[in-house]
């Protein structure tokens, strides 16, 4: 699988175009305002050339930064999204608080810059960057803080059913699990995770589709995004914990009481499933 497959091409094109436009606007405006404040530094006939070059340079720099920034946004959205799925209303409140806190930080930074270097375009650029960075950090920090409190306060009582992990879907014994256990569920993002896994992912996706269509497995909606199998497994753990579901895994019994699929018989086996 090529590495570019992890990018949504349309979103990446939109992000790159936005970054190029932002870079050109801010780069040109910043140098133009610099000449307005300090006209003596360069002759007027050369200023337009410098403004254009500055706009193109910053536009190219931000345009080339599209993929790293895309990865950053996806990663932050995946982490925060998984916490939001688990925390519900408290998670939304944590994100709102994070955005407001980031706005306060950006305002304080802008006041400090204005006292020393009052060029509007530079202040806008720095303010936007500060807000984005602090918004990501604050939203992540507040949601993680609430999630840890929830995990500590919530007794681990799995009495609401079972969650099929994406790894278990590759095993044919998952059919036995769906028939033998009550209230078996999976995440709606499991199909995307199976595609990321590659290999026998298509067969596993078909197996899951049959289980869902037959009514043996229910689907839980998840808003969390991810770009790798490891990120998806973390999302599974968080949602299983928040919804009091025992995970069905391919490994042995885990600390959270997950069941190993090896405890169950294969569909063609005549022995009684556990």
The pLDDT tens digits of the residues spanning 99-154 come to 889 889 889 988 888 887 667 767 777 788 788 888 878 877 777 776 665 555 54
pLDDT in tens, 175-212: 888 888 888 888 888 888 887 776 677 788 888 888 88
User: How far apart, in Å, are the Cα atoms of 86 and each of 141, 219, 224, 271?
Assistant: 15, 15, 10, 38
In angstroms, the CA 22 to CA 266 distance is 58
Between strands 246-249 and 218-220, the pairing is unpaired
φ/ψ region of 161 (left if φ > 0, alpha if ψ in -120 to 50, else beta) reads: left
3-class secondary-structure state, position 167: coil
Quick one: pLDDT at residue 185? 87
Quick one: pLDDT at residue 273? 47
Quick one: pLDDT at residue 244? 80
pLDDT (mean) for 81-93: 64
Q: Considering the chain, what is the average pLDDT of its residues?
A: 77
- Return the percentage of the chain with pLDDT > 70, whole number: 78
Is 85's pLDDT higher than 70?
Answer: no
Is 156's pLDDT higher than 50?
Answer: no
Quick one: pLDDT at residue 42? 80
Is 38's pLDDT higher than 70?
Answer: yes
Sheet of 246-249, strands arranged across: 218-220, 184-187, 162-164, 246-249, 259-260
User: Residue 100 contacts by C-beta under 8 Å, 6 or more apart in sequence?
Assistant: none
Is 84's pLDDT higher than 70?
Answer: no
Is 159's pLDDT higher than 60?
Answer: no
Prediction pTM value: 0.44
Quick one: pLDDT at residue 271? 47
């Amino acid at each position: 699988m090529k590495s570019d497959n992890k990018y949504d091409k349309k979103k990446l094109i939109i992000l790159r175009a936005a970054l190029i436009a932002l870079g050109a606007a801010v780069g040109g405006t910043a140098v133009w305002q610099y000449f307005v404040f300090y006209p003596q530094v360069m002759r007027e006939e050369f200023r337009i050339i410098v403004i254009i070059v500055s706009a193109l340079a910053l536009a190219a720099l931000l345009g080339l930064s599209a993929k790293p920034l895309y990865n950053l946004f996806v990663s932050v959205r995946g982490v925060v999204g998984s916490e939001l799925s688990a925390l519900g209303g408290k998670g939304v409140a944590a994100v709102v608080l994070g955005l407001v806190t980031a706005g306060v930080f950006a305002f304080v930074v802008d006041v400090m810059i204005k006292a020393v270097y009052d060029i509007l375009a530079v202040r806008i650029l720095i303010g936007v960057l500060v807000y984005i960075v602090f918004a990501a950090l604050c939203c992540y920090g507040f949601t993680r803080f609430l999630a840890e409190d929830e995990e500590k306060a919530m007794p681990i009582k799995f009495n609401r059913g079972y969650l099929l992990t994406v790894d278990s879907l590759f095993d044919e014994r998952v059919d036995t699990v769906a028939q033998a256990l009550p209230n078996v569920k999976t995440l709606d993002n499991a199909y995307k995770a199976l595609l990321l896994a590659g290999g026998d992912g298509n067969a596993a996706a078909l197996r899951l589709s049959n289980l869902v269509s037959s009514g043996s497995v229910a689907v839980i909606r998840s808003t969390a995004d991810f770009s790798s199998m490891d990120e998806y497994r973390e999302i599974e753990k968080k949602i299983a914990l928040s919804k009091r579901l025992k995970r069905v895994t391919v490994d042995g019994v885990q600390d959270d009481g997950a069941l190993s699929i090896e405890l169950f018989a294969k569909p063609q086996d005549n022995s009684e499933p556990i």
